[in-house]
Structure 1
Amino acid sequence: MPATTADELLCLSFQLSPTLPALLPAHECLEVLPIPTQQIVAIPDMPPAVMGVANWRGEVLWLLDLAHWLGFGSLLELFPNQLNHNVLILAQDKQRLGLVVAQVGQMFRCPLAQLQSPPGTEMTPALAQCLRGYWAQEPVFLVLDGQGIVQSLSSN
């Protein structure tokens, strides 16, 4: 795809759950990969949304069930027999975080003028910190902010 302009945001689409589509700016995604369930090492005494760690290019990569973290339910409960997990490698400064999502989709050019502000309705503190806005297409996409995701982890 050609480079984006200042009026649009190139985003990677994915499903937080089977019925909840979301977008993350492509420049925040380092890589997309499947990680086999047996390669995830659970870490005791972590929040339930933290699935554990896995080896990624010789580094320890923390894995976060993003839907669970944002308050939409656990992927492990939705797909208990899943053999591989779809992971978006989020790059923020020198930090790397694996966001586990239900399914990875395609790239979209999201016109910034069409982004709608988050509603003033109640939402979880993590979602409020991670949500950049909505893109009102069919279906409506949550537009997330990678930096907000990383900050929400350190503040909770």
Structure 2
Amino acid sequence: METKEKFLSFNLGISDTAVISLQHITEVLQVSLPEICGVPEMPSSVLGIYNWRGEMLWLVDLEAMLGYPPISQGANLLSIMMGIVLENKGKYLGLLVRQLIDIEWLDTKQMKPATTELFYLKSSPFLQGYFINDLEEMIFNLDAITIIQAPMWGIHN
């Protein structure tokens, strides 16, 4: 049985790499920080609302959500970030990341289970596990559905 799936890989923090299965990614877009409308009284990882195809898309700082330093901290305000639009059952959520790396085929049978010791405690609920690549580096596999359904948003439209 074919267990390879397509994943989008991107940078997390300074030196980490993560992937999300393409089956939950609707679109990838460039977002400039001034185009994001901040919303008061939201968790710090929620950057605000973005006009996406004429709809309101909530944008989340994936790094801050996973316990890394916030992506917007080191960024000058003109910087362009990459947005990954996730979709599950008609709900959309945009994740902001520094840069995308590639689309890769990964064998889900090779995925190792995530253990809390390995990962920031904040990120463990969102991890499905990890892969080890040819360079012996860990690649975190993030669970799109858990991210979309995270209770911290309280923004389900």
- The TM-score, its normalising length taken from structure 2, stands at 0.88
The amino acid of 2:129's aligned partner reads G
Give the number of equivalent residue pairs. 151
Alignment partners' CA distance in 1, 2:61 and 2:2? 31
* Superposed displacement of residue 151, structure 1: 2.2
| Shift in alpha-carbon separation, 1:155–1:57, aligned structure 2, 3 A | closer
The structure that is helix-richer by fraction is 1
Partner of 1:65: 61
Shift of residue 58, structure 1, vs aligned partner: 0.5
After TM superposition, the runs of 4+ consecutive aligned structure 1 residues lying more than 4 A away are none
Deviation per CA, 1:106-146: give whole Å up to 9, x if none: 11111112100001426324x22210001011331100010
The equivalent residue for 1:128 is 124
Separation (CA, whole Å) in 2 of partners of 1:10 and 1:44: 36
Residues 13-49 of structure 1: per-residue CA shift (max 9 Å, x gap): 0112231110000111111000122210000011100
2:88 aligned with 1:103, yes or no? Answer: no
Q: CA RMSD in A?
A: 1.8
* Stretch moving more, 95-104 or 144-153: 144-153
Question: Which runs of 5 or more residues in structure 1 are unaligned?
Answer: none
Gaps of 5+ in 2: none
C-alpha contact 1:18 1:102 (8 A) present in aligned 2: no
Distance 1:59 1:135, change over 3 A: same
How far is 1:154 from its partner?
4.6
Q: Percent identity?
A: 26
